Copies of this chain bind each other. A is one copy, B any other.
Amino acid sequence: MQEYVRGMNNQTSDGPLTLRDVAAAAGVSLATADRVVNGRPGVSAKTARKVHEAVQRLGFRPLAAAAELARARSWRFAAILPGGGNRFMMDIADNIRAQAGWFRARRIGVEIVEADVFDADTLAAQLAALPGRFDGVALVALDHPRIRAAIDDLVEGGMAVVTLVSDAPSSRRQHYVGIDNIAAGRTAGSLVGRFLGPPRNGETGGAVGIITGSGSLRDHAERRFGFGQVLAEEYPHLTCLMPAEGRDDPDRNRDLVRRMLADTPDLVAIYNTGEGSVGIGEALAEAGLVRKILCVGHELTPATRRMLLDGSFAALVAQDPGHEVRSMGRVLHALVTGQEIVAAQEHIRVQVILRDNLP
């Protein structure tokens, strides 16, 4: 067994455990120990086993900071977000900018790329243009065969790929940062059912209108599904109207609700699976039905916050863009540096926001 210590570092006994200690214990050099610990090739099975044993026996864990410093390379991540004034996505973008310091401190540059998430071809082309320029991507995925293929190509090419907010589960993306949208829809359904209460004597339950953004983003579809499920199972006295597509646009949503009010005398509640809830509030205000018709929507924005406070909306089901951006950063960073992902920490909660627990 040789001695590879020098200087003042020859205290294998006290102090924190370093790779040097492991190497000494295994009777190999630092470089070899490092190779084994990081699973790099060029080590015989026998010595690898010795090192592994030493790691186990001593309970060694590499110091993240030292590893990061030594790696001495920087990373470039792209965040592909839908363009068009979607407020929630703007929040995501703002949060990414706000996290610039965190990224910089880890040698990470993040570029926000606007995309037309509804056009699979364009999006696929944008994805295909990423390799070489970036080490990792987070994208709001359109769940479409062409996009899945594009994602798989990226992963194949060694890029870290993470879906954000809306998933593409059948692709090979390494991680999904976002909420369980079926659970989110179910939560909205339970809120509507419970807030409305059981049908009054002699009355029927009434009708529930559903406004949705678009059929092509998976998140909205899943929310509708979860919502419908709960209403059918638990509140059969309530009837769901056909979902109306407002493309997350307040103006369209306003029109949809106007029509809904005209067509549906027994309307008791409206659920919006996406953005543009303001339009709903406006239509209700016009009709003098604020607080008369129960509204539940998604995401906390200045507009929904206001409507929560003035009572137009009873509750919001939300995800925290800050958490999501931080999770995205941690996950991508862990992926490119080969660190472990702590699943529990990366789980994004489905939040219920009432007027009283507004952050």
Contacts and interface: CB of A to CB of B under 8 A. Distances in A.
Contacts of A196: 197
A61 B352 contact: no
7 contacts: A61-B101, A63-B105, A65-B68, A183-B357, A195-B197, A197-B197, A349-B357
A107 B64 CA distance: 9
A61 B104 contact: yes
Given A106-B64, A320-B349, A354 B191 contact: yes
Nearest to A67: B65
Interface residues of A, number: 51
Nearest to A200: B200
A268 to B, nearest CB: 12
A224 interface: no
Contact of A187 (B107, B347, B354): B354
A87 interface: no
Nearest to A226: B356
A117 interface: no
Contacts of A102: 342
Contact of A64 (B105, B183, B191, B230): B105
Q: Is the interface of A mostly helix, strand, loop or mixed?
A: helix
Contacts of A357: 183-184, 186-187, 317, 349-352
A345 interface: yes
A69 interface: yes
Interface in A299-324: 314, 317, 320, 322
Contact of A351 (B68, B191, B201, B351): B351
A61 B356 contact: no
Nearest to A98: B344
Contact of A69 (B66, B189, B314, B359): B66
A52 interface: no
A76 interface: no
A190 interface: yes
A105 to B, nearest CB: 4
Query: How many copies of this chain does one complex carry?
Result: 2
A194 interface: yes
User: A61, A64, A101 — which one has the most chain B CB atoms within 10 A of its CB?
Assistant: A64
Nearest to A101: B61
Given A183-B357, A190-B356, 4 more contacts: A63-B107, A69-B69, A200-B200, A230-B356
A283 B350 CA distance: 31
B347 A359 contact: yes
B347 A349 contact: no
A264 interface: no
Contacts of A230: 356
Interface in A174-197: 183-184, 186-187, 189-191, 194-197
Contacts of A66: 65, 69
A326 interface: yes
Interface string A328-359: 00000000000000101101011111111101
A16 interface: yes
Contact of A194 (B195, B317, B320, B359): B195
A36 to B, nearest CB: 18
Contacts of A353: 352
Given A194-B194, A326-B345, A106 B354 contact: no
